[in-house]
Amino acid sequence: MKVYYGPECLCHDPPHEILSGRLVPYLESPRRLELVKNTLSRSSSFVFLSPEQDWPHNLLSYVLAVHTEEYVDHLKTIYDDWVVDGVQVAVLPETFLHHRLRAPNSLDLSNLSPIARAGEEALSVHLRLHIAHQDHTFQAAIAAAQVVLTAARALADDHLAIPDRGTFALVRPPGHHAQDALCGGYCFLNNVAIAAKYLLQHRGCGSVAILDIDYHHGNGSRWMFRLPFCGYEPTRESAQQIFYEEPRVLYVSLHAADDYPYFTGSAGERGAGPGFGFNHNFPLAQKDATDDVYCGTLQQAADIIRQSGEIEYLIVSLGVDTYQEDPICGFLLTQRCYPRIGEIIASLGKPTLFVMEGGYHLETLGDNVASVLLGFEQAV
Ligand code: OKS
Ligand code: ZN
């Protein structure tokens, strides 16, 4: 299997985050990526490849197919703005000014200082903290997008010759919580959404499925393509651009019903407008999620993708924070479950792009990722 990897993904390295009110070392660390890379390197099944530098359009144009220009500018400049504004240590927002939470034109933000605007684009408090510390966050997020796009391109090129094969984009920061104009849950740019848009817009692809097996609900990926977020009504312009009238992406997710991001991911969210019926959530109670329950549910999710007929590519948000010893998650999966997960995904028979998301138990992280990929490869 081809594995795409770029060392620039390591340059985002915040020292701390806030977890349950405590300052702790940042869990979504560069070490995670290095561990997975090292484990995969020891197997002859994986070939490492570098991201393509030379794209027919500016790399940013593929990112802007998913995210707003204002948001991307914000990510690019916020650290420098804050430094100019006197920030030397972490800043936490006092309130969340995010425009999805405000009535249109209710407040002219341009008069506020950068510190006052700290909550503007964030989903949760801990995210702000590491932007404040980091001048390389944007660089790493763009590098991840570049790796994912390269992997998607290779998959689209290859599958004509070698059908039903998988490709792995080994990236961080992860992406599935990031929305068009919102960061959260360690995510800044939505890598799977960027890949999906690329396949739809540049590779003549008619339909893709995103299967999200990270422990957390991928509110960002879901929102991009299928649903207004928490009652937010899209403008006609944003609807056409990004998701509302996009009937070509099926989003299917298995996740904890009772964990971050808390307010999205219920089974009743089925999509809206032309997208109705193209969103399927499988929320599981933490204490119920054993290997057998998880695999049974994954089979149901796979059946939905199977029954959708026309799907040309499968994109997998590959989180292994479902593992029983993950420090921030509560599922009960053992290491024996991961090859089974790979096998079930392979049974769909689609060209498959795996994209790295969460997973924080460092001792097993590499093995669990390798197990999914090897389980997939041995079954195709
Ligand atoms: C903060 C909890 C943050 C959880 C972030 C989830 C990251 C992840 N109290 N998403 O898939 O792995
Ligand atoms: Zn996760």
Domain ranges of the chain: 2-15+26-57+141-379
Output phi, psi for 333, to 5 deg.
-65, 140
Give which of 15, 19, 356, 327 is closest to 187, Cα–Cα. 356
Give mean pLDDT, residues 152-160. Answer: 89
Q: How far is the CA of 143 from the centre of ligand 1 (A)?
A: 21
Give which of 356, 378, 375, 328 is closest to 174, Cα–Cα. 356
Atom number, ligand 1, closest to the C-alpha of residue 321: 12
Cα gap 293→242, rounded to integer Å: 34
Q: How far is the CA of 91 from the centre of ligand 1 (A)?
A: 19
Q: What is the largest CA-CA distance in the chain?
A: 58
Cα gap 291→6, rounded to integer Å: 33
Convert the pLDDT of each residue in 107-149 to its tens digit: 676 777 666 666 666 655 544 444 434 668 899 999 999 999 9
- To test the pocket of ligand 1, the residue of 19, 182, 187, 216 to mutate (highest count of ligand atoms within 8 Å of its CB) is 216
Cis peptide before 247 (omega within 30 of 0): no
The protein residue whose alpha carbon is closest to atom 3 in ligand 1 is 185
Statement: residue 100 has pLDDT above 50:
yes
Evaluate: CB of 19 within 6 angstroms of ligand 1.
yes
The protein residue whose alpha carbon is closest to atom 4 in ligand 1 is 185
Cα gap 153→351, rounded to integer Å: 12
Evaluate: CB of 197 within 6 angstroms of ligand 1.
no
Strands (E) in the chain, as ranges, are: 2-5, 16-19, 22-25, 47-49, 166-170, 208-212, 249-256, 279-284, 313-318, 352-356
Q: What CATH number was assigned to the domain covering residues 2-15+26-57+141-379?
A: 3.40.800.20
Cα gap 8→169, rounded to integer Å: 14
Report residue 164's pLDDT band, with 50, 70 and 90 as the boundaries.
low
Looking at residue 269, its pLDDT comes to 84
Strands (E) in 132-278, as ranges, are: 166-170, 208-212, 249-256
Which residues lie closer than 8 Å to 169 by C-beta, 6 or more apart? 4, 144, 147, 148, 150, 151, 152, 191, 195, 353, 354, 355, 356
- Which ligand has the nearest atom to the CA of 260? 1
Convert the pLDDT of each residue in 299-337 to its tens digit: 999 999 999 978 999 999 999 999 999 999 999 999 999
Atom number, ligand 1, closest to the C-alpha of residue 126: 1
Q: Which amino acid makes up residue 231?
A: G
Cα gap 158→308, rounded to integer Å: 23
